């Protein structure tokens, strides 16, 4: 169980983001408290209202939110969380993480986070197997980032191969086993 764990759920803009409301629900059912940090592209796929309703927390998606006073939420969220789970993790966000690029709410939070990080890649199989993506994954593993391997199967683009984000129940089981 994840009783009492504070989980930051990072969502990047892959089509697998449609699975994240179910993932958040399962994390909470396992006893965790969840806050969502989403990229702008993720919010084109999954609604912030849905995520906020399920988690009972606001969704953080802007570094500088014009509607509120400035506060360094990437720092306060990083201090709050016990672990950071990024699901789905696109090639873009993996590349940002591996190369220290911090230009959105999720990548700035990642760089401020000094506790366990878990990444569940999701992308087309050709993208996943690209040497640069694989290099970026190895770089992250070298600094103790845990990779929740994608599965093989039918991908959103219609091809078959390795690149499907692991199913929410399996991600929760993985975290329960590790944590």
Q: How far apart are the first and last CA of the chain?
A: 9
- How many Å apart are CA 51 and CA 20, to the nearest integer? 8
Q: Is 157 a catalytic residue?
A: yes
Helix or strand run (H / E) with residue 9: strand 6-11
User: Is residue 80 within 8 Å of residue 113, measured between CB atoms?
Assistant: no
CB atoms within 10 A of CB 156: 14
Residue 8 C-beta-side C-alpha neighbours within 13 Å? 32
Residue ranges with strand state E in 18-101: 33-38, 59-60, 83-89
**Exactly one of 157, 173, 174, 176 is catalytic; which is it?**
157
Q: Hey, which residues are catalytic here?
A: 157
């Amino acid at each position: 169980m994840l009783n009492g764990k504070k989980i930051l759920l990072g969502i990047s803009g892959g089509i697998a983001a449609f699975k994240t409301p179910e993932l958040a629900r399962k994390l909470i059912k396992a006893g965790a408290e969840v806050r969502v940090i989403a990229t702008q592209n993720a919010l084109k796929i999954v609604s912030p209202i849905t995520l906020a309703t399920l988690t009972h927390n606001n969704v953080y998606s802007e570094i500088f939110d014009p509607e509120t006073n400035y506060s360094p939420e990437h720092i306060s969220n990083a201090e709050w969380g016990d672990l950071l789970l990024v699901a789905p993790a696109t090639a873009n966000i993996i590349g940002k993480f591996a190369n220290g690029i911090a230009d959105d709410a999720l990548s700035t939070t990642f760089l401020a986070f000094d506790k366990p990080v878990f990444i569940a890649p999701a992308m087309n199989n050709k993208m996943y197997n690209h040497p640069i993506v694989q290099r970026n994954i190895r770089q992250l593993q070298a600094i103790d980032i845990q990779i929740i391997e994608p599965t093989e199967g039918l991908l959103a683009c219609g091809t078959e191969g390795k690149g499907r984000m692991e199913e929410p129940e399996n991600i929760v089981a993985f975290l329960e086993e590790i944590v």
